[in-house]
Structure 1
């Protein structure tokens, strides 16, 4: 036996002895025993709560390594064995035997939770920078700091790239705004969303960049996702099945679906579940009947031209940012943009972490009087508004309402229901599902999604109910008809605000037209925009759309109070050129009866809100 061989054997025996592994006398430890001993000496082994075995270095970065896989513990043990045994290579059978033993060791340990990119730690948030040294940034109510070792256990994936260390170098938010082509309102909403993206324990709305071709949707999405969670593939095409989607989502904290035109029902449901927290059961590798659960809650983005192709339940989870067309003389080359973004990234992170620290400080004091669908996210927006003096909460509500209206444009049955309710007046309609199907305006050629019977009509109305409420149509299905059938009755009524909007003679659709993306106005059109809870606005931002709305039905007394005018003097758009809009909307104030915000139409306007006027 050579000296090197003897020394190698002695080292192997010592390693095995240190690890407490017994070896039969007269024989040296097997390769498998040596691999097990190396792993137990250098790594803490455990199972995650979803049943996956991991190992984490006892004296290194707080990074969990899966036992198997390309960058897992198996390959690390093979390398260490090679280094310590003068270039000898452990056999595949020895590695396989060692992994089986180590999985048993991990199963006996207390379960732990390895996090992806961001995690909570007491009152702070920890962000994994993703480098080989395991460095992180800890953001708390008193500020943020870089740390050499994370206090929280993280895991990595092959899709992740390192984040740059944040550096205070001027105002990073200003530098970010220079890289985007949205308006001030959209930019502030985006900043608030980015701040929330570093808070792991809440549902995040799906950031949706919308605009025509040439508005930079894909590049903006790539850049924004890269700020949070850099990846070699920040933009993904729509996955082909649920297993493919689960694999992508499990291995990234933030990801973007690019150029979405149509989303199948299964993917729409999967995206909704990924927003609120998802778990997908899959067969474990190398087994026939064992399973693992992929659990995740993710930060998602998408780019689209037409949001009307999306499902209604998904629309309620969107936060839309409109991008403007870039003139040719202002268009920049991608290499130039990449360089500017890479240079600005550290300062952008620093500014976002500064804002996040302030948000964490004021968040306990923030209470919402009204809670929208994404209430946790809305609370973050309210905290950002309190710190910055912005109005992102109102912008988000308007954005969510418009997104739902866009999606309902793609639902023929929903549009027919809207038309029926708008024609019914303030009392609304109460009918069975069968009567509803008979009374709604029916197209000559039934669309694919049109319900074929009363059961499907009732089910579809139930699914559309949250979206219909968003645009001002209340759906109540708590009543039953008379015996013996006791059929379920659906009561559909339009809110006073919606009736006030649809009563406008200025609308080309007439008094019976529902609120859709076509008649609510847009950034370029002259039609009416959806009014803000505090008063509508013209799509082009000039004046208040509420000025063009006629008095609601049954409001004759109000017309007399205004001096006996008719529809033309009460709000006909043709009688008020745009140059006079500013003068008409100057007198604003709360309702004199219920104190809700309202708008007085001109110097002699009625100081009551639509609800109080209608009640009178």
Structure 2
């Protein structure tokens, strides 16, 4: 009887894996393996430190030095991947994870030790209660030292004022709370203020890496690879941020997912999902786009005197000596914050409200004012971002000079003077102008300009109406309406047209006095302004160029909105309209009502 054929190398590899490994699928669809007798570290099937390499080594040790062939390893991994897909997906974490009422922090050591933080304190555990994965962009954290004066030692290493340092300490606490959005920590200052070194120190407290500082990625795929492999990242020396990167960073703050085609596949995809802790260094916060500016926490670094400047070798020694006690102090504060958070309720919730609750909890624990300082600083950042936006700054200047605007995006684009030469941020057409307005709308509100685009014109084109009103104009319009309700004898003398006052955007209301023919006459005057000639290029201050009906009151045809170059003139007598009347919504002088014969 012939001898039984020995099992193939692939079969031996599969048996070896099933005896010593648990294979599973993560929530992002990737297969991982966890050694049963080892730490709670999930290894990818392929790549550095993966299951494939570990199986090859174990096979060689078990067979007395026999090396498995590449085809046997490939066949075995295919079988194991099929076994893993039979199980339900399991969440696998990177560096930090939420567990029950506490938080687990992976030290990144080979033995899998972790820090478990709860409302009652923190402790070092030999085995993590949750699964973590590792990457080549991670290095171990030092074991934190309990007690001590860690925050004071960190304060001595950074050159910022007390308010900024307290916000930094609160951000460090929030950085280890994985299920909330975190603002992009932005270090701003002139050259020589130590921005890059400070950012490197802070990132290496949260998620140490051999490359804590990164350059700007070239595209979304390059960014996704970096973000997938690090919990905390820092973009160094940011001068300008392209729109795609600004949007990508915003999504990474609130939670991002990128779908890409799987390697060596035509129809299969891989999904990379992540919410990350981000930092950046910059000289000018005006480089930030509006939506990104609202998701940043800017800390200004103070200049370093020549006498106070220290070399990197000295700083490295001081930082490494202080690091364990700094980590211990942050963990102490994190524990106290977890205990305080359930009782924190915010009456007014700013953007990134979950992060604001953490700041409020830190204030409650330490008696600080980080939340108020964060909100005040955010307003300054928004103002800087708006000043750095060529379209936004032109719009603010126009509204300051001319008052409220109601009209279409095309009309607004015609009214705003374009910059000299080509500028990539300047909208090329009405569609892009409308989109740009939506982007900067939150920034406009921070400087007291309300934005509304919910109404449309009542004509068949149904164009979207944009209404921009400075806050001061609301009060002015109310006073003007009161003045316009007086009789002509009681009203002040009309302003002379030669004074140069120009009302480019007003809400024009038909007169409510006089006969029905008066209303018809005003309507005729409005239709005159709506004629094609009114949209022609303006060469003199006397010409009116835009008129858009106000869709909010289109039902009774009582309200109209005009965008005018030059002063508005009465359609009956031709004289300039007083600003008080136009602001109150009148198209003609109150004593210019048409006669019955007209």
TM-score, reference length from structure 1:
0.75
Partner of 1:19: none
Partner of 2:52: 74
Q: Indicate how the Cα distance of structure 1 residues 481 and 94 shifts in structure 2: closer, same or farther if over 3 A, else same.
A: same
Higher relative contact order (CA 8 A, sep 6+): 2
For residues 90-129 of structure 1, the aligned pairs below 5 Å read 90-129=68-107
Shift of 1:498: 12
Partner of 2:9: 31
Measured in 1, the distance between the counterparts of 2:450 and 2:240 equals 28
8 A Cα contact 2:215 2:236, kept in partner: yes
For each residue in 1:461-503, what CA deviation from the matched residue of structure 2 results, as whole angstroms up to 9, or x when unmatched?
1221122112221101122233243332222122359999xxx
In the alignment, does 2:387 pair up with 1:381? Answer: no
Q: Indicate how the Cα distance of structure 1 residues 25 and 363 shifts in structure 2: closer, same or farther if over 3 A, else same.
A: farther
Measured in 1, the distance between the counterparts of 2:19 and 2:474 equals 69
Measured in 2, the distance between the counterparts of 1:31 and 1:454 equals 67
In the alignment, does 2:443 pair up with 1:460? Answer: no
Partner of 1:182: 160
In the alignment, does 2:441 pair up with 1:469? Answer: no
Shift of 1:459: 2.1
SS in 2 for 1:108: coil
RMSD (CA atoms)? 1.9
For residues 465-504 of structure 1, the aligned pairs below 5 Å read 465-495=441-471
Count of residues in correspondence between the two structures: 476
Which of 210, 220, 237 is equivalent to 2:188?
A: 210
Measured in 1, the distance between the counterparts of 2:459 and 2:406 equals 17
Shift of 1:455: 2.7
Shift of 1:53: 0.5
SS in 2 for 1:478: coil
Which of 432, 442, 446 is equivalent to 2:408?
A: 432
For residues 114-193 of structure 1, the aligned pairs below 5 Å read 114-193=92-171
Measured in 2, the distance between the counterparts of 1:403 and 1:84 equals 62
8 A Cα contact 2:27 2:92, kept in partner: no
In the alignment, does 2:326 pair up with 1:344? Answer: no
8 A Cα contact 1:274 1:296, kept in partner: yes
SS in 2 for 1:137: strand
8 A Cα contact 1:422 1:499, kept in partner: no
Partner of 1:324: 302
Partner of 1:53: 31
TM-score, reference length from structure 2:
0.77
Measured in 1, the distance between the counterparts of 2:435 and 2:249 equals 21
Residues 394-403 or 285-294, more deviating: 285-294
Shift of 1:446: 5.6
Which of 246, 258, 265 is equivalent to 1:287?
A: 265
8 A Cα contact 1:170 1:347, kept in partner: yes
Shift of 1:93: 1.3
Measured in 2, the distance between the counterparts of 1:227 and 1:293 equals 29
Partner of 1:252: 230
For each residue in 1:48-68, what CA deviation from the matched residue of structure 2 results, as whole angstroms up to 9, or x when unmatched?
121110011112201100011
Q: Indicate how the Cα distance of structure 1 residues 479 and 238 shifts in structure 2: closer, same or farther if over 3 A, else same.
A: same
SS in 1 for 2:469: strand
Q: Indicate how the Cα distance of structure 1 residues 27 and 445 shifts in structure 2: closer, same or farther if over 3 A, else same.
A: closer
Measured in 1, the distance between the counterparts of 2:6 and 2:262 equals 35
Shift of 1:442: 4.1
Shift of 1:451: 2.1
Measured in 2, the distance between the counterparts of 1:76 and 1:453 equals 58
8 A Cα contact 1:472 1:497, kept in partner: no
